[in-house]
Amino acid sequence: MKRKEFKVEEEGIRIDIYLHKKLESELSRKKIQNMIKEGKILVNRSSVKCHYKIKRGDDIYIEFPETREPDIEPQEIPLDIVFEDDHLLVVNKPPGMLVHPAGGIYSGTLVNALLYYSRSLSTLGGKFKPGIVHRLDKDTSGLIVVAKSDPVHLALARQFREHQIYRRYIAIVKGIVELDEGEIDVPIGRDPHDREHMTVNFTQGREAKTFYRVLRRYESYTLLEVYPQTGRTHQIRVHLRYLGYPVLGDPVYGKKDKLIDRQALHAQELGFRHPLTEENLRFSSTLPPDMQKLVPDYGRKNGKNIFR
């Protein structure tokens, strides 16, 4: 049984809020509240209520529930493979699919599909992330590269870390973007009020840069191409909200929209240097139908899909 005990250095904060922040979302606030009610969390060796306000010098004792990580099973899920050789894969991920198991979901992910498709995947990400060098949000569609070996994984990760990866996204944002192009250069960090979300944070955030260009303006939304220069969590979504134009349909950094049932964001192009051949590769994917229907007049030209 995992246990943790520590002395409080703050005061006047509800214990459930304090612990959610202290544990950096290791446990959800709801789970913390349930543990308090079950006597798994004690203050000065006594049970308390969820609304108890901590005092400086309090001793908090936590008895974590036993957890057993399940095995990740291969699943026969169709993959849209854009490129493959003996060293890596480039996959076009559909919206609605998690890249890897998380949040209690252990099936239906890209990793489940990859485990069924290939016996050769890098191991550096652990059993939950075999082959996974980078990720896309569940409801963001588009291209992702997968490593088949640890040396290839390390080489690709280095390119991401050194900002040598070419990434072009297509986004549909709420509102009419005024400038034809621009750069958003503000730091991003955890939201101090909700550790599961990100926000612009000038005191504790990390450097983040995003370039955007308007492709077309519509009556109530704007079509953009977006180039993230860094790779912070939720970077494009957070930056576009900061700009005043949240991604259409984004329930976290904007709001749901009847026009589309997910955030209208697609990782359309991906480019990198092949770790073994050193060839410069660039791949593209077609805009998904749910986004294409919002920009049909722009998305096609002379009968050809220009979003390839």
| Among 71, 80, 86, 137, the one annotated catalytic | 137
Strands (E), 33-148: 41-43, 59-63, 81-84, 88-93, 141-147
Q: Is 297 tagged catalytic?
A: no
CA distances 106 to 76, 112, 123, 174, Å, are: 14, 8, 18, 33
Helix, strand, coil percentages for the chain (3-state, nearest 5): 20, 30, 50
Map tokens 């709001």 to a residue: 255
Kindly give, in sequence order, each residue whose CB lies less than 8 Å from that of residue 291, ignoring residues fewer than 6 positions away.
170, 172, 260, 264, 266
Starting at the edge strand found earlier in the chain, the sheet holding 41-43 runs 3-7, 59-63, 41-43
Compute the residue count for the chain: 308
Contact 131, 114 (CB under 8 A): yes
Could you give the CA distance from residue 269 to residue 189 in angstroms, rounded to a whole number? 26
The torsion angle over the Cα atoms of residues 21, 25, 31 and 33, rounded to 10 degrees, is 0
Quote the Cα angle for 302-304-305, to 5°: 130
Contact 188, 178 (CB under 8 A): no
Contact 173, 222 (CB under 8 A): yes
Q: Which of the residues are catalytic?
A: 137
